Structure 1
Amino acid sequence: MRSDIINEVLTVEDRAQKIIRDAERTARDYLTDAQTEANEIVRSSLKQERERCQALLQQAEADAALQLSEFEAGLTRVETLQEDTLDRIAQAIVEKVCNTDLASYLVLQ
């Protein structure tokens, strides 16, 4: 009778150990899967952010190139102004300055 009880206890203990090993294996598998999924989410997010930043950089470079070309075109226009146009601009500036009451402006300062 005692050997039957001992065998029964050992059998139960073996089953308990098997259940524990299976639970540990399952837990490791769940953790590994979760870590793999988290790594993939991080990689995907980084890739999307990198692509977004690259697009912003390309847009900024295109905007800078456009502004530069517009500035250069403006310089070209200034270089090609006719002598009479420059004289009219200079005369308009002189008239504005002459019409300004600089003395009262300087007193207020």
Structure 2
Amino acid sequence: FITHDLSLGYYISEKAVILYRGCVVEMGATEKIYYNPLHPYTEMLMASAPRLDKKWEEVEVELKAKHLELTGGCVYYERCPVADKDGGCARNRPVLIEVEHDHSVACSRCRKE
């Protein structure tokens, strides 16, 4: 099942896969991803969903470069708030790493709790 509706996805699926530009950036148990998003893109998605218990805040995204066709780096590099300044994220595409049972993320710089 593919959806852009985060609430619907939460209520009807046990597993979730988060894609950015056709690449998997995070996957695992839906509840783990929704309550503990690790990839910066997943965090941004979850923050964009309207909630009654949180005030809406505007988020400004700084592009690091014009739209580049990165062949070896992270697909989220241009918009990523935690990408390294030396350009390693632009050169090396991260692989999915299981950070806990049934929760994997493709980011070497994400926060892991």
Same fold flag (TM > 0.5): no
Structure whose CA Rg is larger: 1
Give TM-score scaled by structure 1 length: 0.14
Structure with the bigger percentage of strand: 2
Higher RCO (Cα < 8 Å, 6 or more apart):
2
